[in-house]
């Protein structure tokens, strides 16, 4: 909920809210990070390195060093095919893409860029990596790759972050986010390069880069849109005449929705096709910041307004790189991401008859336990992992799970035949799935979720943040479950105390405590001096508050030791 201190939450942005694009781009080139300052070093979180040129955390030096480090990493891993390079609509993504291309070309690495000179959603890049490595061809050019060559990708995006931010992500040959081993190596090497200056970074000027002819076209949009029939029942959406309003939120999916409608004959209206690096058309998020968060009712206020008419059966939104989804229905408005994940899982595992009966369901450990109950009702194994989509990639790739989803409105699932479609979060895919669910079940996704609550109980879920020093965050991230006191939580016996995820035994970087009808998880923020407490109760909203209070008391006590 919006804080009462932010009365403009959900209101249109004003001129005073907009950033100075010229200043942002000038700072990208003119400011140089101090490699001795932690705040100006390369740091890979769950979604790559992010920052702003204005505070010297995302500048030309960072991107050049990261790209050189990626070149060295992929060489050490024997990855010798082209690198797919894409960008979203943030102002810093264009300059950063040019820096990436200059470094790749200087290192004699071929780069594949969008053949339509457009923007590339994260899921389209992920899908392209998977398909090229499967077919060993370079899309429309059909040029054969070297024998045993593998492609990987770099995408320039800070996802839903404000217009002043930039971001860079690396996706290895499996198509999904790089794992911690890879990102730690890349970040460490990039910081070494920053400390050495530019002397060990190979780079060509823009003019010489073009002359090298190592930059080649790839039709990201055409290949992604065409292949949607392998993973979605678009025929059902078309035959039922489901009317969909799509809001790209000024992001990379803007042309994709038009193409999907045209190629597959769907009734999709793009309610806002504006691309503006200031994102001046946005309504303000909960804290009166411009943020393209499609899971926020404040950022999605315009799309919610469009559903008040009878023109559309469903409305969907994506963030700037389209790796997240927002689902709006007539009966419920903007769906809680946890609710939609549960409904989507229940639908998919019941209608995808070709999926292996042994395939499990992937969720992050801070996602709703409604998913646990749905999995049990389906007779499917639950695969619970730490926060971060990267943890799903090996099992989506192997077919051990068919679906992986996280509470922050990010998910993907495999094709009808059980093969990976995109191994990164795919907001376009999940948005279109909502249309398929309506067409096949004759119910909205929110109505389908209501049926789950009737069967499994009502979920009360919330997240709160608490202040923590960097030292306290380190303590929380290194907790041992044996040191957690107590044997009850909000009046129920504790059934588990976990510092490692049940699905893969990977460190949580925090703590999760469960009972029969409730749980909480606490983990430090990667970007702010706070820790996050996620909690859920299937008893009542009052019980949830009790869980939250006891959780904060317990964690605060651990941090004081």
56-96 pLDDT per residue, tens: 999 999 999 999 999 999 999 999 999 999 999 999 999 99
More reliable by pLDDT, 475 or 280: 280
Nearest to 400 by CA among 344, 345, 362: 362
**pLDDT band at residue 209 under the 50/70/90 scheme:** low
Q: Which of 195, 223, 251 is the last residue of a domain?
A: 223
308 in a structural domain: no
Listed residue (461, 238, 452) closest to 347, CA to CA: 452
- Give a yes or no: residue 168 inside a domain: yes
CA distance to 160, 360, 512, 515, 544, per residue, from 496 (Å): 34, 22, 8, 7, 18
Asked if the model's pLDDT at residue 2 lies above 70, the reply is: no
Residue 489 lies in a domain: yes
Question: Mean of the pLDDT values across residues 319-346?
Answer: 97
Q: Supply the DSSP symbol for 493.
A: E
**What pLDDT is attached to residue 435?**
98
Q: What is the mean pLDDT of residues 424-441?
A: 98
Q: Outline where 300-444 has alpha helix (H).
A: 301-306, 337-351, 370-378, 393-398, 427-441
Contact 199, 234 (CB under 8 A): no
Which among 375, 543, 515 has a CA at the least distance from the CA of 452?
375
Q: Is residue 148 part of a domain?
A: yes
Q: Are 292 and 157 spatial neighbours (Cβ–Cβ below 8 Å)?
A: no
Of 9, 203, 3, give the one whose Cα is nearest residue 106.
203
Question: Residue 348 — left, alpha, or beta (φ > 0 → left; ψ -120 to 50 → alpha)?
Answer: alpha
- Widest Cα–Cα separation across the chain: 70
For residue 135, pLDDT beyond 80: no
The answer as to whether 552 is a domain residue is: yes
Q: Quick one: which of 382, 98, 68 has its CA closest to 194? A: 68
Please write the tens of the pLDDT for every residue from 305-326: 989 888 999 999 999 999 999 9
For residue 288, how many other CB atoms are within 10 A of its CB? 20
Which of 223, 249, 284 terminates a domain? The answer is 223
Does 7 map to a domain?
A: no
Q: Is residue 36 part of a domain?
A: yes
Q: Among 172, 202, 223, where does a domain finish?
A: 223
Q: What is the pLDDT of residues 490-536, one digit of tens each?
A: 999 999 999 999 999 999 999 999 999 999 999 987 667 788 999 99
Helix (H) or strand (E) holding 126: helix 122-135
Q: Is 353 exposed, middle or buried, given 0-12, 13-18 or 19+ CB atoms closer than 10 A?
A: exposed
Q: Is residue 70 part of a domain?
A: yes
Sort 516 into a burial class: Cβ within 10 Å, 0-12 / 13-18 / 19+.
exposed
The per-residue b/e assignment along 301-323, b for 16 or more CB within 10 angstroms, e otherwise, is bbbbebbeeeebbbbbbbbbbbb
Residues tagged active-site: 159
What is the per-residue pLDDT for 138? 47
pLDDT of residue 538: 98
Range of the domain at 103: 19-223
Q: What is the pLDDT of residues 163-208, one digit of tens each?
A: 999 999 999 999 999 999 999 999 999 999 999 988 899 998 766 6
Looking up residue 539, the CATH number of its domain turns out to be 3.30.310.50
The CATH number given to whatever domain includes residue 148 is 3.40.120.10
% residues pLDDT > 70 (the chain) = 95
Question: Do 180 and 186 touch, CB atoms closer than 8 A?
Answer: no
Q: How many domains does the chain have?
A: 2
The bridge status of strand 325-329 relative to strand 314-318 is antiparallel
Q: Taking the mean position of all CA atoms in its chain, how far away is CA 179?
A: 14
| 321, 177 contact by CB (below 8 A) | no
């Amino acid at each position: 909920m919006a804080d009462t201190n932010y009365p403009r939450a959900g209101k249109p942005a004003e001129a005073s809210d907009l950033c100075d694009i010229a200043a942002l781009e000038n700072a990208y080139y003119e400011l140089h990070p101090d490699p001795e300052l932690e705040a100006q070093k390369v740091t890979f979180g769950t979604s790559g390195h992010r920052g702003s040129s204005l505070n010297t955390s995302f500048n030309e030096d960072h991107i050049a060093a990261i790209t050189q480090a990626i070149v060295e990493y992929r060489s050490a891993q024997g990855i010798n095919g082209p690198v797919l390079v894409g960008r979203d609509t943030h102002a810093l993504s264009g300059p950063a893409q040019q820096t990436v291309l200059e470094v790749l070309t200087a290192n004699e690495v071929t780069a594949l860029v969008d053949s339509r000179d457009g923007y590339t959603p994260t899921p389209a890049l992920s899908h392209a990596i998977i398909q090229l490595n499967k077919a060993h061809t370079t899309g429309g050019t059909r040029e054969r790759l070297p024998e045993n060559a593998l492609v990987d990708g770099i995408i320039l995006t800070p996802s839903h972050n404000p217009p002043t931010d930039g971001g860079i992500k690396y996706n290895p040959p499996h198509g999904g986010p790089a794992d911690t081993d890879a990102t730690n190596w890349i970040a460490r090497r990039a910081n070494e390069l920053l400390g050495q200056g530019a002397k060990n970074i190979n780079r060509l000027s823009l003019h010489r880069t073009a002359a090298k002819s190592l930059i080649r076209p790839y039709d990201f949009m055409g290949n992604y849109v065409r292949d949607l029939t392998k993973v979605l029942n678009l025929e059902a959406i078309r035959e039922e005449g489901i009317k969909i309003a799509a809001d790209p939120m000024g992001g990379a999916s803007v042309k994709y929705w038009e193409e999907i409608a045209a190629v597959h004959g769907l009734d999709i209206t793009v309610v806002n096709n504006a691309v503006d690096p200031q994102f001046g058309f946005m309504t303000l998020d909960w804290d009166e910041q411009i943020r393209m968060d499609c899971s926020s009712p404040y950022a999605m206020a315009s799309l919610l307004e469009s559903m008040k008419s009878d023109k559309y059966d469903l409305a969907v939104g994506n963030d700037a790189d389209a790796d997240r989804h927002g689902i709006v229905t007539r009966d419920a408005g903007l769906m809680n991401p946890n609710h939609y994940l549960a409904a989507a899982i229940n639908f998919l595992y019941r209608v995808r008859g070709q999926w292996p009966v042994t395939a499990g369901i992937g969720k992050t450990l801070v996602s709703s336990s409604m998913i646990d109950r749905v999995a049990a009702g389906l007779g499917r194994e639950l695969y619970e992992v730490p926060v971060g989509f990267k943890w799903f990639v090996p099992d989506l790739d192997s077919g051990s799970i068919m679906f992986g989803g996280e509470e922050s409105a990010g998910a993907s699932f495999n094709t009808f035949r059980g093969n990976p479609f995109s191994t990164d979060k795919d907001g376009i895919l999940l948005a279109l799935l909502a249309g398929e669910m309506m067409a096949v079940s004759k119910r909205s996704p929110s109505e389908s979720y209501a049926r789950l609550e009737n069967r499994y109980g009502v979920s009360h879920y919330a997240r709160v943040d608490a202040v923590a020093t960097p030292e306290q965050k380190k303590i929380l991230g290194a907790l041992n479950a044996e040191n957690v006191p107590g044997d009850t939580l909000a009046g129920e016996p504790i059934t588990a105390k976990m510092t490692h995820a049940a699905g893969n035994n990977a460190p949580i970087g925090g703590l999760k405590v469960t009972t029969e009808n409730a749980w909480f998880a606490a983990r430090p923020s990667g970007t702010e001096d706070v820790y996050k407490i996620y909690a859920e109760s299937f008893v009542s909203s009052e019980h949830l508050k009790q869980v939250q209070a006891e959780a904060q008391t317990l964690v605060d006590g651990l941090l004081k030791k």
